[in-house]
Each structure stands twice: as C-alpha cells, then as structure tokens.
Structure 1
C-alpha cells in the first residue's frame, strides 16, 4: 500500500486547502445556522468518550437550541468528556447540503468554535433521501472487529460520517456518500472509504495524520439502526486500491483505510423518532435559505486577515456563488 504519512505528500496527492473554501467558515452561529437547526431533526455527533465515539442525536426538529452565537444546547451522550472537542454533522431530510458545527463539550451542549455549510455532493451521490436500501433484518452487534450483521449493514449503507480530531483535540465530522456500500470491507477487520470530490477542506485527512483514531457512523435509508465503527485510520494512494473503488470511470485520489477495533450496530431512538425516511417529513428546500446565499454571507462574515481574503469578501456574491455551485455539482461528483 502507498501510505500517505505527512502533509507534503497529502497535498501533493489531493491538493492544498483553497482560501475561498476555507473562508466559507465562520466562528459563530448566525441566523442561517439558527434557521437550519430549527428545522433539523437529527445530527451525527463525533465526541470523545473512553475513546473516539460517534452517535446519532436528536429525534425532532429543533432538538438543538441556539442559546447565543457561541453556545448550542443539545442532548449529549452521558460518556462525552467535558472540555474535549466535538463536532456535529446536521442533517435536514430531503435537503442535499449539511451543516457542520465544531466546538467543545460543555455542560449540556457545545461551545461553538466553527460553523459552515457542507456542499451537497456526498448526499447527491448517496441518494440517502431516496428509496429504502436497508435489509429487513433487525440484527444488532456489539463487539470487536466486524461481524456478519455489520458487514450486511455496510452493503446497504450509502452515507457515512467520519468523525476525527486533530493533535490539539479539535474535532470534525465529515460526510461521505456513494451508492450503497460507501464503506467497503476489504479485509477481516479493514474497511475502505474513497475520497470523492467534496468541499476540498480535507479535514479528515489532516486530522488522521496527527491523530489516527476515528469513529464512523453509517446510515442506510429505511433502517432505524445506526452502525458505529471505531478504529485506527491511515491514508492510501495505492493505485490498485483506488482503481477498485472507481465510480463512473473516475478513481479517487486517495482512500481512507480503517482497522476496525469495535463495532456497535443497534437501533437508534433518534432515527426512529425523526422518521428520516418518511418523505412526508422531508423539508421543502424552498423554505430554507439558499445555499448560495449562505455561502456568500459566510464568506463576508469570515474574518481571515490578508489582502486576498479582503478581496474575496468584497467579490463574493450570491449570483456568482450560485453559478459556481451549479457547475461544481454537475461536473465534479466524481
């Protein structure tokens, strides 16, 4: 395997982080975030327990309450360690974009440090809001490695959220989407996830270089179970592995490999209560802020210093952003 072990090699393979992309991030919750959180019934939370953990939280729209721009109140798992980094990937059923919020666990919530809208390509590729792909079994699993119930679930799951932390403990939760089987089992305890085009922040890869322990949450339409995998990740640019994970004739530039240490497959009360797979519960995109407007406003709110950042804030406009999104979603899914 051609392992990527340092930042220089990572940027040579997948590219560096573009300034315009990084400037779509803000350090607080604005009115757009408030609106989206008010309509969102669930989120995937990456946090630190005894080790890296991922959980589905929520169950009904408005489960996460914005107390002020720097503070989000939400149901936290009992084993979440106060003062440690945590990250939310907020899902709005029927909507292709996702909201990402990063911060620190405090009393009954999250001290917010970063918020940004993630592009919709992972959700588009996954078709997670489309017809059910789940099997009819309700098997559960909790133990070391990967058992048969987890392997069967992986075959039906088109959406995964990778949660990771950097060397300073700052957390991130990144969506990955593909046709069913987004997480591919390539060994008795090894899974692989292709790096498809996304928002180009490559947060997961940067974090894995500093702290390889990750937790992954997988979801399958029509299934109220959630699959959590925890383990140790590495980054591969192996040509044969990349070719085996090609879609629509395009190979990923890199693949995340995870040696699974623990598997938890169990019914999720949050998924059950949210009824994510009920089309009548899906949000109407016309009732939400336009993604191009959100990104434009966030670029203008971003406080990055420097001449280039100043020029980007001045040039940012909804019309230009909307046109760029249309081209990107059409041409760069794979």
Structure 2
C-alpha cells in the first residue's frame, strides 16, 4: 500500500495549517482557578511518559474526584495505587521527567491538558492527604506544571463517548480472561481467570 509520508515541519504546516492566535494564547503556565476546579472534579486522568530512548507509555489513573492534590499554582500530585507492578510510567520518569496529563470529567466533552516535569516521591507531608479508603500510597508522582490548556470538545463529540446509546453491547466483546487465554495461554480457564480478576478488582483497589 502506497503512503505519502510527511517528513518535515514545512510539509505538515503546508497541509494542516498554523494554529489560530487564540489557540496559542490559551496555553498557560500555571494552575488557575478554573483548572483547580476541573482537577477537583476529575476522577480519571491519563499520564503519558517516555523513556530516555523515546519509547512511550500512556497509563490510566483513577481515584474518587478530588484525590489529585494541587499544592500550589505550579505543582500537583497523583497518588500511586496497586497495579500490575510493571511500573512503566515510573521507569520512564526516572529516565526522563517529561510527562503529559489529560484530565477527563464524566459528561464533559472538553478536557484539561497539562505538560510538565515529573518526579517520584516515597514520602512527604502531603501523603496523609492522599489516603483513600484508609490506604496511604507508597509512591506519588509530583508534576511541576509547564503548560496547561483546555482541549476542545470535537474528539468527544465525534466519538459520542458519553452517549450510552452508542456504546457496544458488552456481551459482544471478549472478557479479559478470554483475551489473556488466547494471547499468552493462561493456565486457568477463561471463566476462572475472569473470576480471579473480578475478585482482585473488588479487593485490591487500594
């Protein structure tokens, strides 16, 4: 299949154009009152990181809304919760502190984007403020904000993400146990694996 590849910035700009002045001007370097409000109402954030070699990773993070701490106009904190222990994001942050965040709020089509520099901490006075359901995290990610801006609603409107009538029937999609059974030859049956994951999700969230 033939592909026309864009290899230079000039080629990209010629095809896609330059951003409008108001788009460039919306980029801020601090957490203002509107950003604080959105962060406080967001239960779900994606964090993007890259290794020193440029290998990228995007990881979902979820907690009750209000769990992300805003320490000041330039600093926020995400608690780490139990996961798969691959620590892809953390390995990347140790090698390369640059990180990007995308905050989502259910039912809201606009998103908040933040770019900055990340570091890992294992303890700090604010760790008690990261306790959820009695569990204190062992690690947290501190983000020093360098860029912050709102992302428009077009992607969410095109995808109809928040419209339940457009969602696929869950029964038409394979379960995690079925997928892992086919991909890596899991020893338990798919049903047994699904039971294990359901119990783990129920009892090991924090």
Do they superpose with TM above 0.5?
Answer: yes
> Alignment partner for residue 191 of structure 1, among 67, 71, 76?
76
Residues 1:330 and 2:180 aligned together: no
Query: Is 1:176–1:182's contact at 8 Å kept on the other side of the alignment?
Result: no
Q: In the TM superposition, what are the counterparts of 1:174-213 in structure 2 within 5 Å? A: 174-213=59-98
Tell me the equivalent position of 1:265.
Answer: 150
Q: In the TM superposition, what are the counterparts of 1:73-222 in structure 2 within 5 Å? A: 141-222=26-107
Query: Is 1:165–1:172's contact at 8 Å kept on the other side of the alignment?
Result: yes
TM-score (norm 1): 0.52
User: When the two structures are aligned, how many residues end up with a matched partner?
Assistant: 187
The structure with the largest helix share of the pair is 2
Measured in 1, the distance between the counterparts of 2:81 and 2:167 equals 26
Residues 1:286 and 2:171 aligned together: yes
Q: In the TM superposition, what are the counterparts of 1:30-109 in structure 2 within 5 Å? A: none
Query: Is 1:189–1:259's contact at 8 Å kept on the other side of the alignment?
Result: yes
Tell me the equivalent position of 2:14.
Answer: none
Query: Is 2:123–2:138's contact at 8 Å kept on the other side of the alignment?
Result: no
Query: Is 1:159–1:182's contact at 8 Å kept on the other side of the alignment?
Result: no
Deviation at 1:176, TM superposition (A): 0.2
Deviation string 1:225-282 (CA, Å, 9 cap, x unpaired) is 1111000000111153222101100111111000000001132310122222222223
Deviation at 1:141, TM superposition (A): 4.5
Which is worse superposed, 213-222 or 194-203? Answer: 194-203
Deviation at 1:317, TM superposition (A): 3.5
> Alignment partner for residue 159 of structure 2, among 249, 270, 274?
274
Q: In the TM superposition, what are the counterparts of 1:16-27 in structure 2 within 5 Å? A: none
Please list every run of at least 4 consecutive aligned residues from structure 1 whose deviation after the TM superposition is greater than 3 angstroms: none
The structure with the largest strand share of the pair is 1
Query: Is 1:162–1:214's contact at 8 Å kept on the other side of the alignment?
Result: yes
Gaps of at least 5 residues in structure 2 are 2-7, 10-24
Query: Is 1:146–1:262's contact at 8 Å kept on the other side of the alignment?
Result: no
